[in-house]
Amino acid sequence: MAELTYRNAIARGIGQEMERDERVVFIGEDIGAAGGVFKTTVGLFERFGPDRVRDTPISEQAIIGGIMGAAMNGLRPIGELMFSDFVGVAWDGIANQIAKTRYMTAGQVALPLVIRTANGGGTHFGGQHSQSVENWHMMIPGLKVVAPATPRDVVGLMAAAVRDDDPVIFLDHKKLYALKEDVPDGEIVDVLGKAVIRHPGSDVTIVALAAMVHVALEAAGRLAEHGVSAEVIDLRTLVPLDTATFLESVSRTGRLFTVEENPRLCGWGAEIASIAAEECLWDLDGPIVRITTPHIPLPAAANLEDLAIPSAERVVQTVLSQA
Amino acid sequence: MAELTYRNAIARGIGQEMERDERVVFIGEDIGAAGGVFKTTVGLFERFGPDRVRDTPISEQAIIGGIMGAAMNGLRPIGELMFSDFVGVAWDGIANQIAKTRYMTAGQVALPLVIRTANGGGTHFGGQHSQSVENWHMMIPGLKVVAPATPRDVVGLMAAAVRDDDPVIFLDHKKLYALKEDVPDGEIVDVLGKAVIRHPGSDVTIVALAAMVHVALEAAGRLAEHGVSAEVIDLRTLVPLDTATFLESVSRTGRLFTVEENPRLCGWGAEIASIAAEECLWDLDGPIVRITTPHIPLPAAANLEDLAIPSAERVVQTVLSQA
Amino acid sequence: MSPPNDTFEITEATRLLLYQSMLRCRALEKKAYDLFMEGLVQGTTHLGLGQEAVAAGFAATLRPDDMSFATYRGHNHMLLRGMAMAPILGECAARANGCCEGKGGSMHITEVAKGAMGSYAIVGAHLPIAVGAAWAGVVRGTGQVSLCFFGDGTTNIGTFHEAVNLAAIWKLPVVFVCENNLYMEYTPISAVIPVEYPAADRASAYGLERIIVDGNDADAVYQTAVTTVERARRGEGPSLVEALTYRHKGHSRADPGKYRPDEEVAAWLERDPLLVYRGRLESLGFPPTVLDEMEQLARAEAEAAADEVRAAPLPDPAALMTDVWANGGSEWRN
Amino acid sequence: MSPPNDTFEITEATRLLLYQSMLRCRALEKKAYDLFMEGLVQGTTHLGLGQEAVAAGFAATLRPDDMSFATYRGHNHMLLRGMAMAPILGECAARANGCCEGKGGSMHITEVAKGAMGSYAIVGAHLPIAVGAAWAGVVRGTGQVSLCFFGDGTTNIGTFHEAVNLAAIWKLPVVFVCENNLYMEYTPISAVIPVEYPAADRASAYGLERIIVDGNDADAVYQTAVTTVERARRGEGPSLVEALTYRHKGHSRADPGKYRPDEEVAAWLERDPLLVYRGRLESLGFPPTVLDEMEQLARAEAEAAADEVRAAPLPDPAALMTDVWANGGSEWRN
Ligand SMILES: Cc1ncc(C[n+]2csc(CCOP(=O)(O)OP(=O)(O)O)c2C)c(N)n1
Ligand SMILES: Cc1ncc(C[n+]2csc(CCOP(=O)(O)OP(=O)(O)O)c2C)c(N)n1
Ligand SMILES: [Mg+2]
Ligand SMILES: [Mg+2]
């Protein structure tokens, strides 16, 4: 057991899997000698060498197409896109090729690959380097979507992603890179599709993901001071989606809130809300409320960005206003 | 007043606007001399010439970037992507550049442009030529999204899209090309953001879009035979979204169903459901039910595709099972 | 145009193989055409009639574990990797006997076990995929070569540039084959490129040799294929080949091809690769009766396959919800 | 490298303008650097220190209605279109006085009214945009030229290929300027291209001339700029220019640039475009006192701008919800 940052957990998770299985390879821009522009991949190049850890040109379509082809021919590649906003440049490869090919070939083509990318805002990089794009992927049948909230989960979910025989989008959150926690030594392997209750509660259910888990936890702490007992659920993966955990929670609390970093329309929060509105409507004691970034691009200015992304204060006020 | 097909309405709508405003230009693959691969743009090249109606190489990123640049320099361009699935190839241009640039430049950059594309399934073209991608765009702040259900609306909403000073995604539906109706002569201009009640009813509200409007209408007819009075709302545009019309309807009927061609997760149906679950929960007499394509890529085989996309029969059975 | 490489002789057996391959392609696609006419094909289809020499010449050089990637116009390439005709025609007709059980459709003919790594419906998408597959072969030390076929129009899309560049810098065993049939869908390629040869005139941008071959001459294609495939196999990196050819029909089922001048079509029909090759074989002394018999066999093979398709059931409705995931299913929730 | 075009003389006034332009760029970006050090810049920033000659040489040839498109490393290009320093530094610091009111940030310096058509943060995105803007100029008959600046690494992304091709076939008035500073972020360009010159060695793929210029020599850049911009203005189509240069600092704020050999850095610092040009001006007899004074003025301008930024308020919180739409607002529902 030693303290590990979320940032270092990324290299640890990838390293754990590359050590175990020589079919695991890793490509991307500046991931090798440079150790990644966020220093999330430091040491991998030295450990596994240029055949397995490889810098690419600035050619995102080739990275994504490349890992797809590599997965078709016996490897289990991980491809990095430096910022998650850049999935836009390679979206055909992700949404039309990788996601659909197994189905369209009636199961002939296996694509055990991981697309890893730095997601999320709060770092004042402006509208094209700060997006949360987990919804873009959740919307596409054939993709699994993972977004860890803690260093330990980074390692365990990375292992699960690499071992999964389907394409997995692994979204680590830039804002969390400096987050530390004690993480057990040795191999850590999770399963995809298991949410966890990070904070038990009985009055309201708050469902969150990635950086928003910490916002929700802070809010839960403050809500307790107001006499509201909030249960905080960390979804951890969007596909597969652990509906049982939040439905069960809502059936106990009667109130559902989602805290989502994404712009408002058509997000995972809407999906959760819709599932609840169909499947546990009679358990609800009040409206389902989504707390999201407004439906705007993210501004660069720190004060504006802070206003845009849901804060603990906003969660607290929203929950209290509904009480 | 003369009969007009949905297919011909596209050229009529574009022609109406090009006639009126010489800043309107139109580019895309095979749209010129060939009149479009679906014959939706026949005659425009002859009428407006190669300066204003222009065939491009197979370079979707250049088409999308090109219309953005043209809009920045005084034109009001329409860019065609042959099939809506191909937005994936140009997604950075659409989602990161076109959608965000006005905001990121604090309003300096005006982008009065239209992206027109053949959307939707039911034509047995397989998973990469049949998608409904309106949700992909609804999710992105800064884009307006239009999806007409009738020939008249094609003309009127095309005019509204071209005249709008914001980027508009105009999704005409391949399955409707042969649909005919009597359409008034002369200029037709609609406004964006107005839903219409296509069939009034009092027991349940069914919200639909584009091809699904016709499915919903057929279902409403059959439901009437079962004694269920269904109100069918055609959203017409997703952004801006006419929430007032469906919320008012639900407040009367107490039941909300959405009929959506898209794969299940995070669609406009989820957005509608979430808005209702937050804003008119107490009006609901039962769960909100989304009827969608399952969360799968679309299969090519006609019998499978027909099973996948919501049918009138499925709508009828779903509504009856909830009654 | 580079003269056919005549540093080696083409054997009789190879010649017969090339001819047989072309005959089989021709028979297959004519039968696909017949099946539309019978109303059995509901979606679209893109035929390579007239382009058979390219498919035949390259296929003849491949090892079973080599990997071929093609476009929607990929029936011939996939067939010649060893696929049977019935699963190809069955997929065009989206029947249960199709190679993708009817879920892919005519644009996605695939049989991975045979190295028929798929037909891709979005222009340019498969170029980087072919590159990645080649890279995996290098990492795994398999000696495989990746073959990537695409059209003239594809040279203008971004993935072309990214993929060829990546293959070049990583010296990967990929042979990129541009089948220049002079047209995209309806628009002539000459209207949208600033050079004469869409692929060959761009080769130098990737440090590659300029290679143009008569794509209607199976021998010329074969010789180019041997050279470039061997080069790839030796680890000397990719090649970009431009094969000049012509499609006899319109772009797809919906297109009668009226935008092409009659004389142009007539001139190319005279250079039909099957006619050209038949003439060559006869002048080399191959007996016409043998050649006729080969043609009969190809037709019979196609007819038998068509019968299988006609008899094949529609896909099982249960197939709708299978094979999204590796576990065989499509569940996204617990 | 092409020799500087000496078919025309560079006037004294132009020489002073070029030097002044470079001094102002240098002063601006040093000040941007200072502002980080003071903690006023919260996001990232990418400086063009060392690359000023490219910006100066091209800007000196433009008409007010010409349009310049640059990358995140675009402060210099935008400044020299006539932007004031304070809105640039203000945007780097995301203050209310920024040219985008703090909503864009350092990577998006823009002032459309001045032809400073923007700085683009996603590699390659602006190339087709610049092409489209040029096309609109042609349709409208304005005679405008579109200038598009980007880095060596950008030549490997798909939009480069699509955009240059489109400009070439439509003979559009675009000058593509690749500032080859030898590195992408951390990786040297030589590691990821199969040719020597990432842009110039690809020009022929678009039927364009191979143009390489010493990007640290403002005169050479200016002469190339005059030639290529005039060519565009005459309707003779685009050019693709490769300017060889070097960034003095790391890629961005976070990068100390340690991956570059010390000797390489030292050699390029000796060829600092400002040193080179100062030397030339002195040898041509321009009095050092005048040159010193120009330098003082540039520094004073930057210092005054920095003071404005230090005094500027944060963006008004209300700005969060404005300017998504042309109506000034952000409502997506009725
Ligand atoms: C990205 C993309 N854009 C457009 C299309 C539509 N389309 C299909 S085939 C085709 C023409 C392709 O021409 P070429 O590459 O020459 O191949 P050919 O069909 O002649 O074999 C076009 C434009 C597509 N499938 N994908
Ligand atoms: C599509 C995309 N991929 C990657 C990046 C991250 N990135 C920003 S700048 C840069 C290097 C660009 O190198 P070059 O084109 O040489 O320009 P320079 O920074 O040297 O001026 C990279 C990889 C990006 N912004 N966009
Ligand atoms: Mg072609
Ligand atoms: Mg560079």
Contact D237/D218 with Cβ under 8 angstroms?
no
Does A161 lie in the same domain as A42? yes
Does A94 lie in the same domain as A12? yes
**In this structure, which residue's CA is closest to atom 8 in ligand 2?**
D123
Chain C nearest-CA residue for A50: C139
Examine the pLDDT at A217 and tell me if it is beyond 80. yes
pLDDT value at position D3?
46
* CATH classification at residue B231: 3.40.50.920
Residue B293 lies in a domain: yes
pLDDT in tens, C33-80: 999 889 988 778 899 999 999 999 999 999 999 999 999 999 999 999
Q: Using CB atoms, list chains with 3+ pairs below 8 Å to chain A.
A: B, C, D
Query: Can you say how many angstroms the Cα of residue A302 is from the centroid of all Cα atoms in its chain?
Result: 23
pLDDT value at position B35?
96
Examine the pLDDT at A19 and tell me if it is beyond 90. yes
Calpha distance B259→C269 (Å, rounded)? 51
Does A159 lie in the same domain as A91? yes
Amino acid in the structure at residue A81: L
Q: Which residues surround ligand 3, an ion (CB under 5 A)?
A: C 151-152, 181
Does A155 lie in the same domain as A256? no
pLDDT value at position A113?
98
Calpha distance A114→A118 (Å, rounded)? 13
Ligand nearest, relative to CA of residue D51: 2
pLDDT in tens, B207-217: 999 999 999 99
Q: What does residue B208 show for φ and ψ, rounded to 5 degrees?
A: -145, 175
pLDDT value at position D8?
75
Does A23 lie in the same domain as A168? yes
Tokens (6 digits) for A293: 């970034």
Of A64, A66, A193, the CB nearest to C334: A193
Examine the pLDDT at D4 and tell me if it is beyond 80. no
Contact B31/B206 with Cβ under 8 angstroms?
no
pLDDT in tens, C303-330: 999 999 999 999 999 999 999 999 999 9
pLDDT in tens, D171-215: 999 999 999 999 999 999 999 999 999 999 999 999 999 999 999
Examine the pLDDT at A323 and tell me if it is beyond 70. yes
Does B205 lie in the same domain as B131? no
Does A138 lie in the same domain as A208? no
Mean pLDDT taken over chain B: 98
Residue A117 lies in a domain: yes
**Which residues line ligand 1 at a C-beta cut-off of 6 Å?**
B 29, 58, 60, 82, 86, 89; C 71, 73, 121-123, 150-154, 181, 183-185, 251
SS3 D142: coil
pLDDT in tens, D21-74: 999 999 999 999 999 889 988 778 899 999 999 999 999 999 999 999 999 999
**For residue C265, how far is its CA from the centre of ligand 3 (angstroms)?**
14
**For residue D47, how far is its CA from the centre of ligand 4 (angstroms)?**
12
Contact state of C204 with D206 under an 8 Å Cβ cutoff: no
Taking CB atoms and an 8 Å cutoff, what residues of chain B touch A127? Answer: 96, 100, 103-104
Does A203 lie in the same domain as A154? no
Amino acid in the structure at residue C236: E
Share of chain D above pLDDT 90, in %: 93
Contact A274/A246 with Cβ under 8 angstroms?
no
Residues in chain A: 323
Does B45 lie in the same domain as B171? yes
Interface TM-score (ipTM) > 0.85: yes
Token pair 């720190």 is found at: A302
Residue B188 lies in a domain: no
pLDDT value at position B243?
98
pLDDT in tens, A72-88: 999 999 999 999 999 99
pLDDT band of residue C3 (cuts 50, 70, 90) is very low
Ligand nearest, relative to CA of residue C155: 1
Domain boundary among B116, B150, B183: B183
Closest CA to D95 of D24, D43, D26: D43
pLDDT value at position D256?
86
* Cβ count near A47 (within 10 Å): 13
**For residue C84, how far is its CA from the centre of ligand 1 (angstroms)?**
26
Calpha distance C299→C284 (Å, rounded)? 24
Residue B291 lies in a domain: yes
pLDDT value at position C243?
98
Q: How many domains does chain B have?
A: 2
Does B221 lie in the same domain as B171? no
pLDDT band of residue C255 (cuts 50, 70, 90) is confident
Residue A12 lies in a domain: yes
**For residue D247, how far is its CA from the centre of ligand 4 (angstroms)?**
8
Q: Where are the beta strands (DSSP E) in chain B?
A: 2-5, 24-28, 53-55, 76-83, 114-119, 144-146, 168-173, 180-183, 196-199, 204-208, 230-234, 237-239, 256-260, 289-292
**Which structural domain range is residue A72 located in?**
2-183
Residue B190 lies in a domain: no
Q: Is B28 left (phi over 0), alpha (psi -120 to 50) or beta?
A: left
Examine the pLDDT at D1 and tell me if it is beyond 60. no
CA B259 → CA B124, B214, B226, B309, B313, distances in Å?
20, 10, 19, 10, 12
Ligand nearest, relative to CA of residue B37: 1
Closest CA to D173 of D228, D96, D105, D215: D228
Share of chain B above pLDDT 90, in %: 99
Examine the pLDDT at D133 and tell me if it is beyond 80. yes
CA C93 → CA C88, C308, C323, D252, distances in Å?
9, 11, 20, 55
Of A136, A237, A266, A291, which to mutate for an interface test with B (greatest number of B Cβ within 10 Å)? A266
Q: Which of B174-188, B228-242, C6-20 has the lowest mean pLDDT?
A: C6-20
Examine the pLDDT at C1 and tell me if it is beyond 50. no
Q: What is the pLDDT averaged over residues A89-118?
A: 98
* CATH classification at residue B32: 3.40.50.970
> CA geometry: angle at B28 spanning C106 and A142, to 5°?
45
Contact D53/D78 with Cβ under 8 angstroms?
no
pLDDT band of residue D7 (cuts 50, 70, 90) is low
Q: What is the pLDDT averaged over residues A37-52?
A: 97
Q: Which CATH topology does D12-307 take?
A: Rossmann fold (3.40.50)
pLDDT value at position C227?
97
Chain D nearest-CA residue for B74: D136
CA B274 → CA A261, A287, B234, D232, D330, distances in Å?
17, 9, 18, 53, 20
Half-sphere exposure of C42 (CA within 13 A, CB side): 22
Examine the pLDDT at D327 and tell me if it is beyond 60. yes
Examine the pLDDT at C5 and tell me if it is beyond 60. no
Residue A65 lies in a domain: yes
Buried b (16+ CB within 10 A) or exposed e, D127-165: bbbbbbbbbbbbbeebebbbbbbbbbbbbbbbbbbbbbb
pLDDT value at position C226?
98
C209 and chain D: CB distance < 8 Å anywhere? no
Q: What is the pLDDT averaged over residues B165-190?
A: 98
Does A228 lie in the same domain as A174? no
Q: Which of A43-52, C273-282, D245-254 has the lowest mean pLDDT?
A: D245-254
Q: What is the pLDDT averaged over residues C175-194?
A: 97
Contact C281/C18 with Cβ under 8 angstroms?
no
Does B95 lie in the same domain as B43? yes
Residue A191 lies in a domain: no
- Catalytic one of A124, A129, A214, A295: A129
C158 and chain D: CB distance < 8 Å anywhere? yes
Contact state of B126 with C43 under an 8 Å Cβ cutoff: yes
